[in-house]
Structure 1
Amino acid sequence: MRHGKKINHLGRTASHRKAMLSNMACSLILHKRITTTVAKAKALRKYIEPLITKSKTDTTHSRRTVFSYLNDKVAVTLLFNEVADKVAERPGGYTRIIRTGFRLGDNAETCLIELVDYNELLVKETADSKSKTRRSRRGGKKKSEPKNVAPVAEEVEETAVDEEVKNEAATGEVEESNDSDSTEEKPKSED
Structure 2
Amino acid sequence: MVQRKLSRKGAERKALLRSLMISLFKNDRIETTEPKAKEAQRSAEKLITTAKDDTRNARKKAMSILNDKEAVTRLFEDVAPRFMERPGGYTRILKLGPRRGDGAEMAILELVE
So what's the TM-score if we normalise by structure 1? Answer: 0.58
Cα-to-partner distance string for 1:91-146 (whole Å, 9 max, x where unaligned): 001110000111011100001110012xxxxxxxxxxxxxxxxxxxxxxxxxxxxx
Question: 1:67-106, aligned counterparts within 5 Å?
Answer: 67-106=63-102
Distance 2:16 2:4 in 1: 13
Question: How many correspondences in the alignment?
Answer: 113
User: Equivalent residue for 1:40?
Assistant: 36
Question: 1:15-54, aligned counterparts within 5 Å?
Answer: 15-54=11-50
Cα-to-partner distance string for 1:159-189 (whole Å, 9 max, x where unaligned): xxxxxxxxxxxxxxxxxxxxxxxxxxxxxxx
**Where do 4+ consecutive residues of structure 1 move more than 3 Å?**
none
Question: 1:105-144, aligned counterparts within 5 Å?
Answer: 105-117=101-113
Superposed CA RMSD: 0.9
Distance 2:2 2:23 in 1: 25
Structure label with greater radius of gyration: 1
SS of structure 2 residue aligned to 1:12:
coil
Higher share in strand? 2
Q: Which amino acid aligns with 1:97?
A: I
Distance 1:29 1:62 in 2: 16
User: Equivalent residue for 1:64?
Assistant: 60
SS of structure 1 residue aligned to 2:52:
coil
Structure 2 residues without counterparts, runs of 5 or longer: none
So what's the TM-score if we normalise by structure 2? Answer: 0.97
SS of structure 2 residue aligned to 1:55:
helix
Distance 1:32 1:46 in 2: 16
Structure 1 residues without counterparts, runs of 5 or longer: 118-191
